Amino acid sequence: MKSHPARNRRRLALAAATTAVVVALSFGATGAAFAQDTSHASGDRVLRVGYQKAGLLAVLKAQGTLETKLKPLGYSVKWFEFPAGPQLLEALNANSIDFGYTGAPPPVFAQAGGVGFVYVGAEPGSKLSEALIVKADSPLHTLADLKGKRVALQKGSSANYLLLELLRKAGLGYNDIRPVYLPPADARAAFEKGDVDAWAIWDPYYAAAQQALKARTLADYTALPPAGLTYNFYEATRDFAQQHPEVVSEVLVQLRASGLWVNQHPAETAALIAPKIGLDAALVEKWVRRVPYGATAITNDVAQAQQHVADAFYGARLIPQKIAVKDNVWQNSSAAARLAAQ
């Protein structure tokens, strides 16, 4: 059957907009605000930022420094929380937010689906902040034991790539397991009830499962070669990055400054953001200490590492077409120079 790219993009946009509203209605007050505010207010210049519980954007929100830095540029900031990267990028596609942060896989799926975004910055990955976990008394003790088992995960998330690479290490294919695609909250419920055998997840949900459920780590990135470690990414809509490069640049500079502070002050960071995201401070400090922060521009090395992620998903037939990551990289020498100077 002949493909119709324009029709497919329209369908994707409609699906994204619908999902964004569903997500908003599912996640309380923050979601309600998101559902009501899907465009810039008339006459105002507002940067709409999508964030997750983990990540520097949550820290920047708690610090309040971004509002101060963007005020001279004539911008205010509105924040919208998402449970995972795929939902955040769906909102980006629906033009409900301008800027966000995800792991490596969500933008791969988004690019394959025709979403109009660009990579504007990157964060180094962590070997310890996501994992494949099982219950403490689980009979699963090796990756090979996963064959035929039910594994909960958010499709298209960073944990999806970790699972893919762990299966490859064990000599298994994606078809050798039974993936159960669930957002984090539903995945935790399924994990607790024993409806799944394992769960591929990231912080802070990972740390929470370790703390509250005494979950056992079956494997994390330490089981893989160093070259397999992915980056995390900041994304913006293509139009916003092209029309307001000074705003994107300022956000990245503030993220780098905040990240360098967090690296030196994990306990203070936990005390700052724990009450704002509704998590225990000790739990927050645990995952903060597992992550090295330091926002950078998208270098050739970063783009090549992300291309490896994209190729892995294409090879597993989880995305419909091969993509070129470099086609979605924001090129701005001024922003790159500002980041490098810090």
> Do 242 and 320 reside in the same domain of the chain?
yes
pLDDT digits (tens, 9 = 90+) for 278-315: 888 998 999 899 999 999 999 999 999 999 999 999 99
Same domain membership, residue 222 and residue 251: no
- Round to whole Å and give the CA distance between 133 and 341: 40
Of the residues 173, 196, 228, which one is the last residue of a structural domain? 228
Domain count, the chain: 2
- Beta carbons of 51 and 57 less than 8 angstroms apart: yes
The tokens for 281 are 């401070």
Query: What φ, ψ does residue 93 adopt, rounded to 5°?
Result: -65, -35
Residues 89 and 99 in one domain: yes
Query: 201, 228, 255 — which closes off a domain?
Result: 228
Do the Cβ atoms of 330 and 120 come closer than 8 Å?
A: yes
26 lies in the same domain as 36: yes
Closest Cα to residue 144, out of 168, 162, 179?
A: 168
Same domain, residue pair 121 and 234? yes
130: amino acid identity, one letter: E
Do 103 and 247 belong together in one domain?
yes
Q: Which residues contact 288 (CB under 8 A, 6 or more apart)?
A: 262, 266, 269, 270
Would you give the DSSP letter of residue 294?
Answer: -
Q: Are 140 and 65 contained in the same domain?
A: no
Enumerate residue ranges in the chain where pLDDT < 70: 1-43
Boundary-marking domain end, from 187, 208, 228 = 228
Residue 201: HSE in the Cβ half-sphere, 13 Å Cα cutoff: 29
List, for residues 177-201, the tens digit of each pLDDT value: 999 999 999 999 999 999 999 999 9
Q: What would the DSSP string read from start to end of 101-149?
A: EE-SHHHHHHHHTT--EEEEEEE---SSSEEEEE-TT-S--SGGGGTT-
Distance CA 24, CA 30 (A): 7
Residue 245 and residue 136 in one domain: no
What's CA 218's distance to the chain center, in Å? Answer: 22
Q: Where in the sequence is the domain holding 202, given as residue range(s)? A: 130-228
φ/ψ region of 73 (left if φ > 0, alpha if ψ in -120 to 50, else beta) reads alpha
Q: Is the pTM of this model over 0.95?
A: no
d(CA 270, CA 283): 8
Based on the domain organization, do 221 and 234 belong to the same domain?
A: no
pLDDT of residue 166: 96
How big is the chain, counted in residues?
Answer: 342
Token pair, residue 37, equals 């505010």
Q: How far is CA 265 from CA 59, 148, 258, 339, 340, in A?
A: 12, 43, 10, 21, 22
Which amino acid is located at 80 in the chain? F
77 & 110 share domain: yes
User: Does residue 279 sit in the same domain as residue 217?
Assistant: no
Domain match, 76 and 120 both: yes
User: Residue 52 in contact with residue 183, Cβ under 8 Å?
Assistant: no
CATH code of the domain covering residue 109: 3.40.190.10
